[in-house]
Amino acid sequence: MATLGMTTLNRAEKILAGLIGIAVLAIFATFMTLSFFNYPVADDFCAAAKARDLGFFKALAFWYQNWSGRYTLHSVWTAVMMPQDIFQTYRIAPMLLLTSTWLSFSFLIARIAQGRLLTHWILLLGGISSILFIAGVPDVAQTFYWMGGSITYQLANILLLLLLGLLVWRETTAHNDRRHTLIFWLSSLLVIAIIGANEISLFLTVSILCCGALYAVWTRRDSRMFWIVLLVIALIAALISVLAPGNYQRYSNSIGENDSTLRPPIWLAVTLYFPWVSLRILYWLSNLGIWASGFILLAVTVQPARTLLYREGKFRKSWLLLPALWLILLFLLNAIGFVINRYPLPERAESVVYLLFLLGGSPVLIILGHFLMGDGLQRIDRQWIAPAAALLLINLLGTPNVFEAYKDSYRGYRYHQEQQDRIAAIQAAKKRGETEIVVASLSHPPRTLFATDIATDPGNFRNECLSEYYQVHSIRLGASGQR
């Protein structure tokens, strides 16, 4: 990566790098613009109602006792929902998450580069990584725009990127005690926050820290106490989250009489597990942008990688443990959904798995490339980098999620108007003294923004959350054409 700089690029590569930078900015601008059309849905209204009625700390106690041990989610969610006008503050959240995703990827890349990349390259690579992430998440609305999903999973993803950057910094260029202390306290806070966000990130974080601690102890690194203490902190935080009374109450409700989910038999869930995970990985691998970016990275890191991966001119096969652990973790994270619900993970939770796929993909490609090709990698012709960059540019602009966002730029305005009409209708009905309110359904809501909606059944939990927020007996969708 040290060879990647403006002075080493030919004219075609400079033009392509500039075009990729413009494409990254344009794509981010599109997703940022959609934030202005964003509206709370489902249990967002329950969070807002509890924040209003109970206050911050009593609301946290309520969620911990009655819903789940995701203390990070409930803390951030409640804080955001405290202001009286939640519709204005709600639009800020996806903007912050999108920006933080870019910056957190850039921070991790900067720590890996260890000062050998200029700032503009770090930001460009961070932007490319962010777009590849956005392009691969199963549901953009649940990942960035619906706060019930974004605070639960995407905030944890951002914090994990920052944590990984700190861990790389601790093991590479942080050489004095003051930096060690700073990194330890920041890492501890991040670990606690990630553990309290969701169970998938909890398992992934504990797994990473466990592997790091074992490696540090095995190799007698001076950072071994750092890793061990972080792992202990993570385990304590995990116990606080997992042992929350709300977890057991929620699980009891989900398997009791109130559970309407049609679950497949255990034998069928076991049978479908391996094909599902394999097909999901193959689907992610079908993204040509991942292959194009991986090829470029493989080509420009040949010499630094040889220094790291080889000893006395021979490839160190111990590095093959990393691809194996990466693949095992991908299957284990997906297994959580099948074990708990006999179904794959919800799409919002799959964003955590995809982040692991994306983060591990490039190192695995480099390791396997050197293992399989060896000295043959040095014969990669420089002329192939420009076509790969062109393919990357086309892919960034043409992925389904990005294309959907383009279309939703005008759908979003209609969605905004219909949501405004619904709010006005509810408020007008309340002024007339109505307590059982009927509202119109939404027409062709934008997929990038739309996570879910209320139902015709006033007893649906999404309807109950909206009714609780507006303090009326019930709110439901009318029949076709009814308002």
Express each pLDDT in 99-114 by its tens digit: 999 999 999 999 999 8
User: What average pLDDT does range 286-304 have in this prediction?
Assistant: 90
pLDDT tens per residue across span 335-375: 998 888 788 899 999 999 999 999 999 999 999 998 988 77
pLDDT tops 80 at residue 54: yes
Instruction: Indicate the domain borders of the chain.
Output: 6-38+91-398, 408-477
- Measured distance CA(470)–CA(49) in Å, rounded: 8
pLDDT band at 260 (very low <50, low <70, confident <90, very high): low
Least confident of 97-106, 259-268, 279-288: 259-268
pLDDT tops 60 at residue 7: no
pLDDT tops 70 at residue 161: yes
Phi, psi for 40 (deg, rounded to 5): -65, 150
Asked whether the beta carbons of 450 and 407 are under 8 A apart, the reply is no
pLDDT of residue 1: 38
Residue type, 3: T
Quote the percentage of the chain above a pLDDT of 90: 65
pLDDT of residue 483: 45
pLDDT tops 80 at residue 476: yes
pLDDT tops 80 at residue 270: yes
SS3 439: strand
The radius of gyration of the chain from alpha carbons, rounded to an integer in Å, stands at: 24
Phi, psi for 377 (deg, rounded to 5): -65, -30
pLDDT tops 70 at residue 261: no
pLDDT of residue 194: 97
Could you please report the per-residue DSSP string of 190-250? HHHHHHTT-HHHHHHHHHHHHHHHHHHHHTT-TTHHHHHHHHHHHHHHHHHHHT-HHHHHH
Which residue did the predictor score with more confidence, 483 or 479? 479
pLDDT of residue 253: 62
Q: Single out the residue of 125, 131, 98 nearest to residue 109, CA to CA.
A: 125
- In this structure, the dihedral spanned by the alpha carbons of residues 94, 192, 207 and 293, taken in order and rounded to 10 degrees, is 30
SS3 434: coil
Asked whether the beta carbons of 475 and 466 are under 8 A apart, the reply is yes
pLDDT tens per residue across span 398-407: 999 999 999 9
pLDDT of residue 251: 67
pLDDT of residue 3: 44
Phi, psi for 477 (deg, rounded to 5): -75, 140
SS3 437: strand
311, containing H or E segment: strand 310-311
pLDDT band at 83 (very low <50, low <70, confident <90, very high): confident
